[in-house]
A and B are shown apart, each in its own frame.
Chain A
């Protein structure tokens, strides 16, 4: 099946299903929005009380500020080091926080039995799952924005220090930094959706382990594709191919390399990964809602 044909068949199926079920989802969606928003707000309030998240954010801020210690390098080197190191810190800590926030969202509600109080109210299970996910997205957005603002601040301050030097080639590349951070946030959003899906059926430990595996596989899709092409055992080849097809290609959201090297980035090209990400999140959220719907609580 060619990619174009697969896309057209997929589009046809989606349109048909949406048209057939419009009487079910249209009113339900209108009812669901306030409930989802309330659950999201509660999720954010709970996360704000967690000291661990605040501690990690402060740690990242300190790491970013300490990167100004590279001042013994030339301005050109400094800008590269700050951008690549800063974006790497945002990626690593953003993903880690996403894993540890999302993995506890639903299992903790089940363990603490607080889910009964919520589901006893006129809240449907899919609203609960989506509300939790949106709450996690708001927290992660705040974290990524905080870290990005600190990185931009560090770049601007460093730029002030070195701009008077002769032949200063310090390039803060602020537009690129913001772009890479936004794309990084979308990668985090896709990964968080997958973590929420796993957490509806698995324990917390299992969810965390799976999340790390998905992160690794999603970030190394080129290597997975290579491995699949070179695998000699049919089962291995099949598993790797499935992993390549199913796991989201987080590499597509990674623009850190281009931004660090000041390679021109086509901002319009970002739409493709964004469409991919949103589509993936929708699929995963539907699955998570079905799984949580069928779960005995």
Chain B
């Protein structure tokens, strides 16, 4: 009996020893695994409960957050095909909260806000809001997925193509191109940002950069890339000081900017802007002079009336 008791005592000690060994091991592993959920979509560890009930509930889904995100994604698909564009936003927001690494959901969320909803909006204020929201969404996506070049590229593209902020876009294209696996068009878009605004101080280094990257002669995409970059490089060396080319670029850039103004031309009676009688471009309602050409606008603000929502097709709603 005494022997059995001492045997059990030794076993007890063995277990205490093993448990003491296990506690730090478990703790170390647990802390080393990034917490997937975070309301700010960061991968750092935060206390979900301290933030609010919704994050706490989401955290309580444990490993099934991905499945919950998938089910909501299917719902978003149905809503999209049903044409309820505005109803998609809360669903996409929930999907990205549940699964901050769901790249496609982030891409669709940012694009939907910056392109579709921006186009669908009727006022300048609303348009600005949706564009900003799309960009902020993509910024959050980049923060949540800092190692994903597609996400960084998506933000750069939206800034370049939709917000017409080439310098900011260039930063993201450059960042995206640093990742392994980034496509060659990212490097080309990097210098294209400076072409449109003829920022030669940055354009030539960017062209040099594009020439120095994606230059594997065995990869057909890289060969094509080098051909395009060399052609562009030669073109700009030749036309750098050519005033006609400068004018052509200015026209192209203004055309790009004017594309944003298509609704202003279509609905000149909208009360939120004044259309300049000289250059035809819009300026905010109440402006004394045209933002574009400086022509006087006083007196035009008296116009009233708005276009009906039925007659407002979205411009470029589905790129």
Please report A residues at the B interface, Cβ cutoff 8 Å: 3-4, 6-7, 9-14, 17-18, 20-21, 24, 73, 76-77, 80-81, 84-85, 88, 91, 219-223, 226-227, 229-230, 245, 248-249, 251-252, 254, 256-258, 260-261, 263, 269, 272-273, 275-276, 279-280, 282-283, 286-287, 290
Q: Is the CB of A283 within 8 A of B22?
A: yes
Chain A residues with CB under 8 A of B17: 9-14, 17
Q: Is the CB of B23 within 8 A of A226?
A: no
Chain A residues with CB under 8 A of B269: none
5 inter-chain pairs at a CB distance below 8 angstroms, sorted by A residue, are A6-B20, A13-B17, A88-B63, A279-B22, A290-B11
Chain B residues with CB under 8 A of A4: 24
Which residue of B20, B33, B103 is within 8 Å of A252 (Cβ)? B33
Report the Cα distance A3→B21, complex, angstroms. 8
Given contacts A14-B14, A84-B70, contact A220 B22 (CB under 8 A): no
B16 at the interface (CB under 8 A from A): yes
Chain B residues with CB under 8 A of A286: 11, 14-15
Chain A residues with CB under 8 A of B35: 222
Report the Cα distance A283→B65, complex, angstroms. 31
Q: Is the CB of A91 within 8 A of B63?
A: yes
Closest to B77 in A: A73
Chain B residues with CB under 8 A of A229: 47
Given contacts A84-B70, A91-B63, A226-B48, 20 further A-B contacts (CB under 8 A): A7-B25, A10-B23, A13-B13, A14-B21, A17-B14, A24-B7, A220-B60, A222-B45, A226-B56, A227-B49, A229-B47, A249-B29, A254-B62, A257-B36, A257-B63, A276-B26, A279-B25, A283-B22, A286-B14, A290-B8
What are the interface flags for B92-131 relative to A under an 8 Å C-beta threshold, 1 for contact and 0 otherwise? Answer: 0000000101111000000000000000000000000000
Closest to A294 in B: B8
Report the Cα distance A219→B62, complex, angstroms. 6
B190 at the interface (CB under 8 A from A): no
A143 CB to nearest B CB, Å = 19
Q: Is the CB of A10 within 8 A of B11?
A: no
Closest to B101 in A: A261
Q: Is the CB of A223 within 8 A of B56?
A: yes
Closest to B66 in A: A84
- How many A-B contacts if CB must be within 8 Å? 150
Of residues 1 through 43 on chain B, the ones whose CB sits less than 8 Å from some CB of chain A are 7-8, 10-11, 13-30, 32-33, 35-36
Report the Cα distance A280→B32, complex, angstroms. 19
Report the Cα distance A287→B15, complex, angstroms. 8
Q: Is the CB of A283 within 8 A of B15?
A: yes
Report the Cα distance A235→B17, complex, angstroms. 26
Q: Is the CB of B23 within 8 A of A245?
A: yes
Report the Cα distance A251→B29, complex, angstroms. 10
B311 at the interface (CB under 8 A from A): no
Q: Is the CB of A9 within 8 A of B20?
A: yes
Which residue of B19, B28, B65, B101 is within 8 Å of A3 (Cβ)? B28
Given contacts A77-B73, A226-B49, contact A276 B22 (CB under 8 A): yes
Q: Is the CB of B22 within 8 A of A88?
A: no
Q: Is the CB of B63 within 8 A of A256?
A: yes
Given contacts A17-B10, A279-B18, contact A251 B62 (CB under 8 A): yes
A125 CB to nearest B CB, Å = 12
Q: Is the CB of A6 within 8 A of B28?
A: no
B64 at the interface (CB under 8 A from A): yes
Chain B residues with CB under 8 A of A261: 66, 99, 101-103
Chain A residues with CB under 8 A of B29: 249, 252, 272-273, 276
Please report B residues at the A interface, Cβ cutoff 8 Å: 7-8, 10-11, 13-30, 32-33, 35-36, 45, 47-50, 56, 59-60, 62-67, 70, 73-74, 77, 99, 101-104
Report the Cα distance A21→B103, complex, angstroms. 56
Which residue of A81, A272, A290 is within 8 Å of B28 (Cβ)? A272
Q: Is the CB of B26 within 8 A of A251?
A: no
A250 CB to nearest B CB, Å = 9
Chain B residues with CB under 8 A of A279: 18, 21-22, 25
- The 5 A-B residue pairs whose C-beta atoms are closest, nearest first, are A3-B24, A13-B17, A10-B20, A10-B21, A261-B101
Closest to B100 in A: A261
Chain A residues with CB under 8 A of B21: 6-7, 10-11, 14, 279
B303 CB to nearest A CB, Å = 46
B145 CB to nearest A CB, Å = 9
A89 CB to nearest B CB, Å = 9
B98 CB to nearest A CB, Å = 10
Report the Cα distance A293→B206, complex, angstroms. 76
Chain B residues with CB under 8 A of A7: 20-21, 24-25
Chain A residues with CB under 8 A of B56: 223, 226
Report the Cα distance A273→B30, complex, angstroms. 9
Report the Cα distance A85→B28, complex, angstroms. 29
Q: Is the CB of A76 within 8 A of B104?
A: yes
Chain B residues with CB under 8 A of A11: 17, 21
Q: Is the CB of B25 within 8 A of A276?
A: yes
Which residue of B13, B24, B67, B77 is within 8 Å of A17 (Cβ)? B13
Q: Is the CB of A226 within 8 A of B47?
A: yes
Chain A residues with CB under 8 A of B70: 80-81, 84-85
Chain A residues with CB under 8 A of B66: 84, 88, 256-257, 260-261
Given contacts A10-B20, A13-B17, contact A263 B67 (CB under 8 A): no
Chain B residues with CB under 8 A of A21: 7, 10
Q: Is the CB of A251 within 8 A of B8?
A: no
